[in-house]
Amino acid sequence: METAPENKAFPVSWDMFHRDARALAWRLSGQGDWKAIVCITRGGLVPAAIVARELGIRTIETVCIASYHDYESQGQLEVIKPVDPAVVDLKDGEGSGVLVIDDLVDTGKTVKVVREMLPKAHFATVYAKPVGCPMVDTFITEVSQDTWIYFPWDMGWQFQPPLNKDTRG
């Protein structure tokens, strides 16, 4: 009897994440006249801060959407706080000049909800999975759909078992 494959682990250190978020800023520089950043909380907070610093963007807004309720599986999406209308209306009422930042696009469900709020915004993530890739405009690193990314803010120092779980020497 075949068992379902386990998710692959992709641990990301603070140094790696900072490097990748700066790479995202570098890739975004010159792509637009950004008036504001909207970060998708909570994962988008850290990369948004790094991108804002690197690109000199001072207007930073949040859209608060809960999707991973148990840190293991994506559940029902809940918009806790929508984007401030003043940010939506900066240019044309549809998000032109707005850069939407998140740490990861997985299935694209969260991005779809935010894109309905800001149809002309530019969506950028640090990491992307194949199903969600078409939903974003810019990303840095693609990982397989069955990969679970362990972000530095979710981890503590502990033993990591080897990929081959046979540790009998």
Q: pLDDT (tens digit, 0 to 9) for every residue of the chain, 169 residues total?
A: 554 557 799 999 999 999 999 999 999 998 989 999 999 999 999 999 999 999 999 999 999 998 765 556 556 899 999 999 999 998 898 999 999 999 999 999 999 999 999 999 999 999 999 999 999 999 999 999 999 999 998 887 776 677 766 655 5
User: Which residue is catalytic, options 33, 70, 103, 166?
Assistant: 103
Task: Check residue 38 and give its pLDDT.
Answer: 98
**Dihedral pair phi/psi, residue 47, rounded to 5°:** -65, -30
Task: Check residue 40 and give its pLDDT.
Answer: 97
Task: Check residue 163 and give its pLDDT.
Answer: 72
pTM for the whole thing?
0.85
Task: Check residue 116 and give its pLDDT.
Answer: 95
Q: Catalytic site residue 84?
A: no
Task: Check residue 169 and give its pLDDT.
Answer: 55
Partners of 62 in the β-ladder: 39
Q: Catalytic site residue 102?
A: yes
Task: Check residue 70 and give its pLDDT.
Answer: 57
User: Which residue is catalytic, options 106, 137, 146, 166?
Assistant: 106
Is-contact 129 142, C-beta < 8 A? yes
Q: Catalytic site residue 15?
A: no
Task: Check residue 5 and give its pLDDT.
Answer: 56
User: Which residue is catalytic, options 20, 84, 102, 166?
Assistant: 102
Q: What is the dihedral of CA 107, 110, 114, 119, to 10 degrees?
A: 10
H helices present in 33-150, as ranges: 45-55, 85-88, 109-117
Non-local (6+) Cβ contacts of 51 within 8 A are 21, 24, 25, 28, 37, 57, 99, 101, 124
The structural domains of the chain, ordered by start, are 8-153 (3.40.50.2020)
